Amino acid sequence: MTSRWTTAVLDTDVPGGWAVARSRDGFLLDDNGALFPREWLKRQDLSILGEHGIGHLDGEPVYLLELNAPADVAGCRWQGLRGFMLDGDHTLYKVLGYAAQIGTWAREHRFCGNCGQAMAQIHWERAMYCQPCDLRHYPRISPSMIVLVTRGDEVLLARSPRFVSGVYSTLAGFAEPGESAEDCLVREVREEVQVQVRNIQYVGSQCWPFPHSMMLGFHAEYAGGEIVPQADEIEDAQWFNIHALPPLPASRSIARYLIDLYVARRLGHSEPVLPG
């Protein structure tokens, strides 16, 4: 049976429920997972920066304890969010991905960017409030495009110096103010590899909590130009035949989905499902 996760703003004054703990080292984890009885977790020697009610898992309330620093808890260890992405429990990854974004937002908005005074968390909506300025700050979502550029049985893949050794992926970049997703796509492809594209088609989207992106996935056909990798951004970029692909991104990423979807369509195989 698949677990059901829904986000919600919960009252932190109400006792009970489950909780996750997050520090700069990731999330607290034991042999049973990253969800702990909330009241037990709060009794541990943790330096809590803030507490946030984040939603319901199978009807049970879930809270985030955002910590100032990691702490030693008997029988537990810390694991980064990417580690959970590669594990088998996709629902838990979604819970922790959302928790990471809420924790980052709350940590970065403790003080008003206009007057510098401390901000207060609003209890009935996901917002931080500065009373002197009458300003509300909501969780940040950064739209970005990600695109698979194709040429028949070939796909254009690139690698950044930040990637795991040997892995190639699709092209991606953040949208600028006043720029449509399609305009962003054309600009990013031109900047990163000096290639022109055509027949842009939207495929799907995925939340990418590293730290707060909304990835808008596209497919585009090659229209011209020779590959010239962008200095300091692209370590290498090549055309790869779908029958001889290099190491690819994690299977739960939208980058991998775009590649797998195109390969499946070219070969007449069943289409993969985009991870939620």
Shared domain check, 193 and 127: no
Query: Residue 30 pLDDT more than 90?
Result: yes
Between residues 273 and 87, which one has the greater pLDDT? 273
| pLDDT tens for each residue of 218-227 | 999 999 999 9
| pLDDT tens for each residue of 53-111 | 999 999 999 999 999 999 999 999 999 999 998 877 889 999 999 999 999 999 999 99
| 274 is a domain residue | no
| pLDDT tens for each residue of 165-208 | 999 999 999 999 999 999 999 999 999 999 999 999 999 999 99
Listed residue (55, 53, 51) closest to 5, CA to CA: 55
Cα gap 207→211, rounded to integer Å: 10
Shared domain check, 118 and 154: no
Shared domain check, 122 and 76: no
| Predicted TM-score (pTM) of this structure | 0.90
| pLDDT tens for each residue of 227-257 | 999 998 999 999 999 999 999 998 889 999 9
Q: What is the CATH number of the domain that holds 149?
A: 3.90.79.10
DSSP for residue 34: S
Cα angle 223, 224, 228; round to 5: 130
